[in-house]
């Protein structure tokens, strides 16, 4: 009883301090956000260490600390395949695409993934369709809201609806006020806290079980095997994720594709100098290893109590029941921060798609809306802020009613975006003389509708396999159509006419004055 009272006290005090920091950073972001470029990518004035930490915090969201820990609890040692993909496939993909994308963007001056694709292929259709495709990420946002809500339901006793209202309102206010400046600064701070959490969770077993490393892991293996032999096998036939070799391969494929997700893509575009990319990736890799240690919390909780009804609650119950109250409160707040660190970036991606990629770059540029440049830029910023509110409402509704667990909900969003955008990005940057505009257009349409059809009709239980089928289909279409058509003028040209001279001058001036201080 005393521990429960102390935990609640620490949680409320910690929550108050957390909100003060969030409000302060939101105000800082508000003072720095003057136009659509500031809202979307902080005008490319952020340093590599800040962005590396922000990239890691955005990449490893509440899914890492809630959903993926639950998979360790449910699926046993087979979940280490996911651990390996996050260390291997994702960093490799980042190395392969990030430098080339950023170098190209020095000339293009794009603010987002749809904007970048539209400029690269010289196509308004590509820009607008990519803007529509990224809306799949409302499912990703919903998953983060669900994870953040668990802080209030499990640790503070709120009902789910109230908890979702609180976390949704917090994120919406934060993004409207602070945009990308606040997003990156908060993410960088949260990345450090999340790394500390990973280390605490991993090493906690040695004092909770009272044994050394070898004895602890031997004990965990024995406990898992005593309940179900499949929990210690590399292929868990009872799992909807790790039931076959191809199902596991599909995780590697989608994790590779995940590095080109728009909320991560924006971080690459915000880097002050492409030459600093190595520092950014190095920061990301160090933090990644620390984050992933949290996976072991699922195994520890299973050994202590294999009878949890809701596996997504495993990390919360583990910290609440088996750690000192002050550490449990800290870890609970870190999970809340993890949900915020990804969700705010996703809100910015989706609102930028509406306000910049569709409104500014299409409706205004093509004279469907008659508005001068300065007025359009101001209006687009306000449109982005209003869009954030609308996305919040839709995501709240999904979070409240979706039948999928947190991990599955996230990958529904990721798969839809990846199927539409990864083929034209990856093939475009490495085979610029081969890809064609019509191939990108057809591939993106097939990616979106192909994923929808596959998701609802495929018999496979794995969300990763369904996403991989759609991604491979869209990639094949891109290759075949490119081979059958001739490349048009304006495709893969670095001097895209959509980039104005004024924007180019902005890039030169802002690169000389990095805001991040790294």
346-404 residue pLDDT tens: 888 888 888 888 888 888 888 888 888 788 888 887 888 888 899 999 999 999 987 77
- Give me the pLDDT at residue 496, please: 41
Beta carbons of 288 and 309 less than 8 angstroms apart: no
CATH code of the domain covering residue 357 = 1.20.1730.10
**Over the stretch 443-492, which tens digit does the pLDDT of each residue have?**
999 999 999 999 999 888 899 999 999 999 999 999 999 999 998 887 87
If you search the block for the tokens 């009613």, which residue do you land on? 401
In the structure, what pLDDT confidence band is assigned to residue 505 with cuts at 50, 70 and 90? very low
Chain centroid, CA 268 distance in Å: 13
* DSSP class per residue in 366-393: TTSS---HHHHHHHHHHHHHHHHHHHHH
- Give me the pLDDT at residue 421, please: 92
Residues spanned by the domain of 161:
1-403
Residues 244-268, mean pLDDT to the nearest whole number: 79
- Give me the pLDDT at residue 40, please: 43
- Give me the pLDDT at residue 475, please: 96
pLDDT of 508 above 60: no
* Length in residues, the chain: 518
Least confident of 175-189, 334-348, 475-489, 503-517: 503-517
User: Rounded to whole angstroms, how far apart are CA atoms 331 and 335?
Assistant: 6
Q: Tell me if 486 is assigned to some domain.
A: no
User: Rounded to whole angstroms, how far apart are CA atoms 326 and 318?
Assistant: 14
Least confident of 96-100, 145-149, 379-383, 457-461: 96-100
Residues 289-301, mean pLDDT to the nearest whole number: 92
Q: Tell me if 1 is assigned to some domain.
A: yes
**Over the stretch 407-426, which tens digit does the pLDDT of each residue have?**
788 889 889 999 999 999 98
A 10 A CB-CB count for 82 gives: 24
Residues 222-247, mean pLDDT to the nearest whole number: 93
In the structure, what pLDDT confidence band is assigned to residue 214 with cuts at 50, 70 and 90? confident
* Secondary element (H or E) of residue 491: none
pLDDT of 503 above 50: no
Provide the number of structural domains found in the chain.
1
Q: Tell me if 233 is assigned to some domain.
A: yes
Q: Tell me if 421 is assigned to some domain.
A: no
- Give me the pLDDT at residue 512, please: 40
- Give me the pLDDT at residue 515, please: 34
In the structure, what pLDDT confidence band is assigned to residue 336 with cuts at 50, 70 and 90? confident
User: Rounded to whole angstroms, how far apart are CA atoms 402 and 408?
Assistant: 10
pLDDT of 242 above 60: yes
Q: Tell me if 266 is assigned to some domain.
A: yes
Write down the mean pLDDT value for the chain.
Answer: 82
Q: For residue 268, what are the contacts with CB-CB under 8 A and spacing of at least 6? A: 55, 98, 101, 102, 277
* Secondary element (H or E) of residue 272: none
Q: Tell me if 475 is assigned to some domain.
A: no
- Give me the pLDDT at residue 391, please: 92
In the structure, what pLDDT confidence band is assigned to residue 46 with cuts at 50, 70 and 90? low
Q: For residue 439, what are the contacts with CB-CB under 8 A and spacing of at least 6? A: 424, 477, 478, 479, 480, 481, 482, 485
Give burial (CB, 10 Å; 0-12/13-18/19+) of 217: middle
Q: Tell me if 6 is assigned to some domain.
A: yes
Question: What's the per-residue H, E or C state across 420-478?
Answer: HHHHHHHHHHHCCCCCCHHHHHHHHHHHHHHHHHHHHHCCCCCHHHHHHHHHHHHHHHH
pLDDT of 316 above 70: yes
Q: Tell me if 370 is assigned to some domain.
A: yes
């Amino acid at each position: 009883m005393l521990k429960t009272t102390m935990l609640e006290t620490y949680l409320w005090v910690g929550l108050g301090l957390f909100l003060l920091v969030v409000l302060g950073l939101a105000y800082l972001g508000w003072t720095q956000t003057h136009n659509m470029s500031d809202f979307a990518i902080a005008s490319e004035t952020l340093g590599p260490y800040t962005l590396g930490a922000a990239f890691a915090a955005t990449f490893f969201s509440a899914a890492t600390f809630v959903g993926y820990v639950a998979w360790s609890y449910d699926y046993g040692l087979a979940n280490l395949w996911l651990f390996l993909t996050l260390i291997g496939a994702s960093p490799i993909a980042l190395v392969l695409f990030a430098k080339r994308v950023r170098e190209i963007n020095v000339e293009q001056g794009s603010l987002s993934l749809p904007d970048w694709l539209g400029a690269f292929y010289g196509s308004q259709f590509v820009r607008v369709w990519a803007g529509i495709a990224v809306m799949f990420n409302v499912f990703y946002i919903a998953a983060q809201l669900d994870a953040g809500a668990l802080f209030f339901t499990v640790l503070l006793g709120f009902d789910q609806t109230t908890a979702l209202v609180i976390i949704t309102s917090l994120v919406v206010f934060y993004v409207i006020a602070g945009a990308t400046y606040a997003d990156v600064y908060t993410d960088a701070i949260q990345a450090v806290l999340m790394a500390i959490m990973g280390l605490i969770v991993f090493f906690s077993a040695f004092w909770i079980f009272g044994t050394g490393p070898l004895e602890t892991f031997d004990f965990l293996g024995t406990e898992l095997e005593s309940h179900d032999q499949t929990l210690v096998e590399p292929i868990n036939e009872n799992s909807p994720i790790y039931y076959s070799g191809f199902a596991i391969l599909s995780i590697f494929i989608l994790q590779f594709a995940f590095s080109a997700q728009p909320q991560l893509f924006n971080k690459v575009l915000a880097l002050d100098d492409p030459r600093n990319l190595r520092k950014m990736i190095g920061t990301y890799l160090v933090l990644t290893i620390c984050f992933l240690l949290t996976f072991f919390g699922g195994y520890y909780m299973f050994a202590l109590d294999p009878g949890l009804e809701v596996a997504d609650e495993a990390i919360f119950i583990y910290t609440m029941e088996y750690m000192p109250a002050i550490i449990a409160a800290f870890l609970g707040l870190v999970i809340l921060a993890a949900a915020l660190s990804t969700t705010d970036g996703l809100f910015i991606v989706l609102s930028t798609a509406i306000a910049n990629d569709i409104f500014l770059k299409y409706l205004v540029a093509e004279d469907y809306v008659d508005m001068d440049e300065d007025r359009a830029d101001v209006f687009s910023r306000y449109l982005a802020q209003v869009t954030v509110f609308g996305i919040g409402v839709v995501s709240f509704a999904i979070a409240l009613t979706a039948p999928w667990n947190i991990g599955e909900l996230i990958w529904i969003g990721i798969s839809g975006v990846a199927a539409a955008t990864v083929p034209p990005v990856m093939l475009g940057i490495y085979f610029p003389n081969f890809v064609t505009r019509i191939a990108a257009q057809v591939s993106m349409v097939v990616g979106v509708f192909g994923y929808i059809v596959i998701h609802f009709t495929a018999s496979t239980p794995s969300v990763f396999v369904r996403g991989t089928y759609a991604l491979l289909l869209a990639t094949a279409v891109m290759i075949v159509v490119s081979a059958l058509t001739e490349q048009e003028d304006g495709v893969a040209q670095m001097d895209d006419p959509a980039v104005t001279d004024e924007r180019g001058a902005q890039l030169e001036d802002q690169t000389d004055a990095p805001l991040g201080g790294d």
